[in-house]
Amino acid sequence: MLSYSKVEKHIPVMSAEVLNYLDIKKNGIYLDCTLGSGGHSQIMLECFSEIKIIAFDQDQEAIKRCQQNPFFASKNITFINDNFVNFPQYLTELNISQVDGFLFDLGVSSEQLNDDERGFGYRQDAPLDMRMSAENTNSLTAQKIINNYSCQQLAEIFREYGEEKKAKKIAWRICQTRKKEKITTTQQLVSIVASCFSQKSKKHPARRVFQALRIVVNQELINLSQGLETALQKLKSSGRIVVISYHSLEDRIVKQIFKKYNELGHYQILTKKPLIPSFEEITINHRARSAKMRVIARQK
């Protein structure tokens, strides 16, 4: 087993487990569906230089960053700036019918969270945007949701996608505030949400509302279901799919889809219970604390 030995600027989550469970084959073809900073792709290529990686990210900034990374310059990696649900059309163009392994490392990257322009983080002030892909300037943003959805719709979103117990109260306060002024920034929203909580908690009061908005803006759960189902069809015999999720809604979808394919036959779940990061990893990489990893293999 590989282990965590050094602390680097960007630390890909559970990378030792990813490498071990992908069971990488010489000359194999692998899809990194969520390239981000390229952390997992880099480790895969460092350990197995003869593989080919096709790497997707819907965020143009992520693709640019990796294209400019000298490590990838001479490596067998193809970068694609698109939603991973569209991967079959690229495989057809590349004349690839099946793939040896898929990696999904879901959610937002540290760069997206820390970007002052994107509005993913509740700790800094930014416009309420939250689009991972900013290509379509007319697409849904968090600001459009917060200022235009009905009070009932907002409460439903916060409850369903944020599992927020105070969903109704928060939605009502938002609707009262927006009668007086448009809500355009993350810190305006944070202060409204925070005003609904009387007791201090270790966790940030706005984290569930931000999660809910991000999921809706980026259609994250729909993409995950669709991407996983298609990946299962395109997986080679003895190939593997590794998914790292960061909240219970994602993990539930992965668990249910894997269970369905396991029962259909020809697929075997390799992680009866999800794997979680070691204490050692969480200590050096706080972002890993909520990660859960599930793996499935195709038998025939």
What does the binding site for ligand SAM look like in residue numbers (CB under 6 A)? Answer: 10, 12, 34, 36-40, 56-59, 62, 83-84, 105, 107-109, 132, 223
Looking at residue 142, its amino acid is A
- Residue 12 or 205 having the CB closest to ligand SAM: 12
- Nearest 5°: the CA angle 17, 20, 22 is 100
- Residue 37 or 143 having the CB closest to ligand SAM: 37
- Residue 103 or 189 having the CB closest to ligand SAM: 103
- Residue 141 or 188 having the CB closest to ligand SAM: 141
Cα–Cα distance measured from residue 98 to residue 223, given in angstroms and rounded to the nearest whole number: 20
- Residue 34 or 143 having the CB closest to ligand SAM: 34
Question: Do 242 and 23 meet the contact criterion of CB atoms below 8 Å apart?
Answer: no
Please state the closest distance from residue 215 (CB atom) to ligand SAM, in A: 11
State the Rg of the chain over Cα: 20
Please state the closest distance from residue 181 (CB atom) to ligand SAM, in A: 31
Please state the closest distance from residue 171 (CB atom) to ligand SAM, in A: 26
Calculate the alpha carbon distances from 163 to 204, 247, 284 in Å.
14, 10, 28
Question: Do 91 and 230 meet the contact criterion of CB atoms below 8 Å apart?
Answer: no
Please state the closest distance from residue 254 (CB atom) to ligand SAM, in A: 14
The counts of H helices and E strands in the chain are 13, 7
Of the candidates 134, 96, 116, which has an alpha carbon nearest to the alpha carbon of residue 235?
96
Please state the closest distance from residue 244 (CB atom) to ligand SAM, in A: 8
